[in-house]
Amino acid sequence: MTSPLANDASLTSLFSARAANIKQSAVRDVFEISMQPGLISLAGGNPYLQSLPLEKLAESAARIIAEQGLEALQYGGGQGTLELREQICQVMAAEGITDADPENVVITAGSQSAQDVAAKVFCDPGDVVLVEDPTYVGALNALEAYQVEVIPMAGDGEGLLPEALREQLAQLRTAGKKVKFLYTIPNFNNPSGVMLSEQRRQQIIDICKKEHILILEDNPYGLLKFDGAPLPPLRARDAENVLYLGSFSKIFAPGLRIGWALVPAELKQRFYLASEAVTLCPPTFNQMLVSAYIRDYDWLAQVRRYRELYAERCETMLEALEEHMPAGVTWTRPVGGFFVWLTLPDHVDSYPLLREGIDAGVVFVPGAAFSTKPKSSSLRLAFSAVSSENIREGVRRLAPILAKAVTKQPSETTAAG
């Protein structure tokens, strides 16, 4: 038999067509850079883990190994432990979903792996998925790897525009396209920080239902609304048409890689089997540690501490922007989550500004990371894991770079980028 390598020396010729769509995200690039000493990173969407009860968690971890080690270090069920699935239902009740059945919860390696599974079980190459513009880079990466046609949808300060969604769906129907789902982050979108208004939530549900497409609702920041009164997720209004994704990454610890999907009953089995094919089972020890955290600690009090902390940091960032930013730069004013989204005039490409930012000692994520378009005049700043002092200093360092970019003539910017 002839070796597949006979006519081509490079092993890369063995990659699938799909693999060409798998790229390193700009967020990961920036993540590496952010580690350099002296730089202020406003890039990473990291929770502020310093406020967790680390010593007590160490005791819980030791107790789990000492008392239940053989279970904790063993394979477990593919859907996740029943104890944690029941606790996840309590967490979702705090988010406003009161009818979740642990039977329909599938524990995943973070919300990220649930997104991959969703793309895998619903999308054939060429199928359409609608997303917010801008949207979470990890979702774009997962969808693009399955050769999905991702269509960004316009929004404003109140989130996705229902009218634009309706029109887009009608056009796609006329064009004979198969739309599988709307991927949406209704609460404190990453990267824009925008929250979908109460009034639009039902409209979006109704439109998707009428068009027979699923809603993939990603809600890792839902509990982190600064005033402590989260808006009920879309799933709270619609148990049939919404596949809901939750995560412990932003309210507890991303390193444990524990998230979940609450799947409509008729879709659950296939979703669960696809998830099992990827991870076999979610990590047993990590699930037990999350269970201990929910059972033995006042996790809601910790969520309250996080809210207060993030509210304060967000306020500091907004004040610093007000003080330092030049005319021509606008930004969102989030009421929860981790991010502020800055927008410069259209002629500016924010990507080349990253280099200038690094030279000035500040890092951000250029907007193109969160878009299907190659260029963006926006950028994302994260306030979640940065001290107030560094937020002020980071914004102060960034301001002259943006001021220069705003005043450059469009042709100069194009030449530079």
Ligand X SMILES: Cc1ncc(COP(=O)(O)O)c(C=O)c1O
Q: C-beta of 222: minimal distance to ligand X in Å?
A: 10
Indicate the residue among 254 and 367 with the shorter CB distance to ligand X: 254
Contacts of 205 (CB under 8 A, 6+ apart): 215, 234, 237, 238, 241, 242
Is 254 near ligand X (CB under 6 A)? yes
Is 259 near ligand X (CB under 6 A)? yes
Indicate the residue among 115 and 413 with the shorter CB distance to ligand X: 115
Q: C-beta of 256: minimal distance to ligand X in Å?
A: 9
Q: Round the CA-based radius of gyration of the chain to a whole number and report it.
A: 22
Given 134, 220, 367, 394, the residue binding ligand X (CB under 6 A)? 220
Indicate the residue among 110 and 366 with the shorter CB distance to ligand X: 110
Is 138 near ligand X (CB under 6 A)? yes
Indicate the residue among 37 and 255 with the shorter CB distance to ligand X: 255
Q: Helix (H, G, I), strand (E, B), or coil: what is residue 331?
A: strand
Q: C-beta of 190: minimal distance to ligand X in Å?
A: 3
Residue that the structure tokens 């799947």 belong to? 263
Structure tokens belonging to residue 90: 């309590």
Indicate the residue among 129 and 348 with the shorter CB distance to ligand X: 129
Is 112 near ligand X (CB under 6 A)? yes
Draw the binding track, 6-45, toward ligand X (x: CB under 6 A; -: no contact).
---------------------------------------x
* In contact, 365 and 28? CB cutoff 8 Å: no
Interface of this chain with ligand X, residues 166 to 195, rule: CB under 6 A: 185, 190
Residue that the structure tokens 């990267």 belong to? 191
Mapping DSSP onto H, E and C, the string for 263-292 reads CCHHHHHHHHHHHHHHHCCCCHHHHHHHHH
Structure tokens belonging to residue 320: 């610093």
# residues contacting ligand X (CB under 6 A) = 14
Interface of this chain with ligand X, residues 316 to 355, rule: CB under 6 A: none
- Length, in residues, of the chain: 417
Q: Which stretch binds ligand X (CB under 6 A): 107-115, 196-204, 293-301, 316-324?
A: 107-115
Indicate the residue among 331 and 338 with the shorter CB distance to ligand X: 338
Indicate the residue among 380 and 392 with the shorter CB distance to ligand X: 380
Phi, psi of 344 (to 5 degrees): -105, 170
Indicate the residue among 113 and 343 with the shorter CB distance to ligand X: 113
Q: Which stretch binds ligand X (CB under 6 A): 91-99, 105-113, 152-160, 266-274?
A: 105-113
Concatenating the DSSP letter of every residue in 143-171 gives HHHTT-EEEEE-EETTEE-HHHHHHHHHH
Given 187, 247, 284, 371, the residue binding ligand X (CB under 6 A)? 247
Is 141 near ligand X (CB under 6 A)? no
* In contact, 268 and 260? CB cutoff 8 Å: no
Cis peptide leading into 191, omega within 30 of 0?
A: yes
Concatenating the DSSP letter of every residue in 37-88 gives TT-EE-------GGGS-HHHHHHHHHHHHHHHHHHHTS---TT--HHHHHHH
Residues that bind ligand X (CB under 6 A): 45, 110-112, 136, 138, 185, 190, 218, 220, 247, 249, 254, 259
